[in-house]
C-alpha cells in the first residue's frame, strides 16, 4: 500500500510539474532544484526525484551537475520546424474537409469555431487551447482520414507549450476568434482554396507571435547552457 501511494504521489507530482512547464509557469531556461520543487508543490524529495527522472527522459528538463535542472529551452529552429509541419498538414486538411466533409461535420466545425480567452489568465489559456485543439480536430475529422487526424493532433500537442508563449505576448483574442469563424465559414461554403489561404495566414500569424514572445524570454540560463554545450541537443516543445 505504501509503495502504491508513493507511485501515485510521484505521478501526480510529475503531471503537475509537466503542466507548469507546458503552460510556461516554469519558463524555458529556468533553473530548478529538487528542494525548491518539493517546497513549491508541498511534497517530499522522492516524488520530485521520480518526476524529474521521467521529465528528463521526455526532454522537458535537463540535469546540470551541481546546479540541479534546467527547463528545456525552445529554439527558433524548433518553432520553424513544427509550424512548417503544421502548415503543410492543415492546408491539406482544410481542403479535404471542404471537399468531402458531410453537412453534419461542417455544422460541427461551425459550432466549434466561436471561442475565446481572457488575456493574462493562464487558466483561460488552457481552456482556450483545449477548445482550439477540438476545433482543428473537428476539421481533420471531417476528412474521414484517421491517420491525418492523428498527425494533426500530435502536431497540436507539440505546439501547446509555444502556444502559451504566444497568447501571453498580447491580447489577440478577437483576431483569433475572427480567424476561426472565417475559416469555418469558408469550409462550410466548400471553398477549398479560400480555406487553405485562411489557415496558412492564421498559422503564419501564430508563428510570428510565438517567435516574438520567444525573443522576450529572460535568458538568465543561457551562459550555463552554452558552457555545457546543450545548444545542439534536441528539446521537446
Going from N- to C-terminal start, the domains of the chain cover 2-73+221-227, 76-215
Cell numbers given for 115: 471561442
| H or E, element range at 228 | none
| H or E, element range at 219 | none
226 versus 98: which is more confidently predicted? 98
Does 1.20.120.530 match the CATH number of domain 76-215?
Answer: yes
For the chain, the maximum distance between any two Cα atoms, rounded to a whole number of angstroms, is: 60
Summarize pLDDT for 70-128 with one digit per residue, the tens.
Answer: 999 989 999 999 999 999 999 999 999 999 999 999 999 999 999 999 999 989 999 99
CB distance 184 to 196 below 8 Å: no
Cell numbers given for 176: 483569433
Instruction: Give the C-alpha separation, 96 to 140, whole Å.
Output: 8
Summarize pLDDT for 50-79 with one digit per residue, the tens.
Answer: 999 999 998 899 999 988 999 999 899 999
Q: Is the pLDDT of residue 156 over 80?
A: yes
Phi and psi for 29 in degrees, rounded to 5? Answer: 85, -5
Fold classification of 2-73+221-227 (topology level) = Arc Repressor Mutant, subunit A (1.10.10)
Average pLDDT value for residue range 154-182: 92
Closest CA to 141 of 154, 131, 130, 150: 150
Share of the chain above pLDDT 90, in %: 72
Amino acid at each position: 500500500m505504501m509503495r502504491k501511494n508513493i507511485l501515485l504521489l510521484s505521478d501526480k507530482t510529475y503531471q503537475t510539474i509537466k503542466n507548469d512547464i507546458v503552460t510556461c509557469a516554469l519558463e524555458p531556461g529556468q533553473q530548478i532544484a529538487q528542494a525548491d520543487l518539493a517546497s513549491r508543490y508541498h511534497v517530499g524529495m522522492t516524488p520530485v526525484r521520480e518526476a524529474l527522472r521521467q521529465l528528463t527522459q521526455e526532454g522537458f528538463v535537463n540535469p546540470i551537475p551541481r546546479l540541479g535542472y534546467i527547463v528545456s529551452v525552445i529554439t527558433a529552429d524548433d518553432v520553424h520546424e513544427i509550424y512548417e509541419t503544421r502548415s503543410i498538414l492543415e492546408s491539406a486538411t482544410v481542403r479535404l474537409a471542404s471537399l468531402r466533409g458531410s453537412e453534419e461535420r461542417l455544422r460541427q466545425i461551425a459550432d466549434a469555431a466561436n471561442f475565446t480567452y481572457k488575456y493574462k489568465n493562464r487558466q483561460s489559456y488552457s481552456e482556450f487551447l483545449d477548445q482550439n485543439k477540438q476545433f482543428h480536430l473537428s476539421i481533420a475529422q471531417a476528412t474521414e482520414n484517421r491517420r491525418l487526424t492523428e498527425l494533426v493532433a500530435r502536431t497540436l500537442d507539440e505546439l501547446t507549450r509555444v502556444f502559451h508563449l504566444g497568447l501571453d505576448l498580447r491580447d489577440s483574442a478577437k483576431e483569433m476568434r475572427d480567424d476561426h469563424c472565417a475559416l469555418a465559414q469558408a469550409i462550410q461554403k466548400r471553398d477549398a482554396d479560400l480555406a487553405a489561404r485562411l489557415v496558412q495566414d492564421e498559422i503564419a500569424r501564430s508563428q510570428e507571435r510565438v517567435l516574438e514572445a520567444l525573443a522576450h524570454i529572460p535568458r538568465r540560463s543561457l551562459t550555463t547552457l552554452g558552457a555545457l554545450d546543450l545548444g545542439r541537443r534536441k528539446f521537446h516543445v
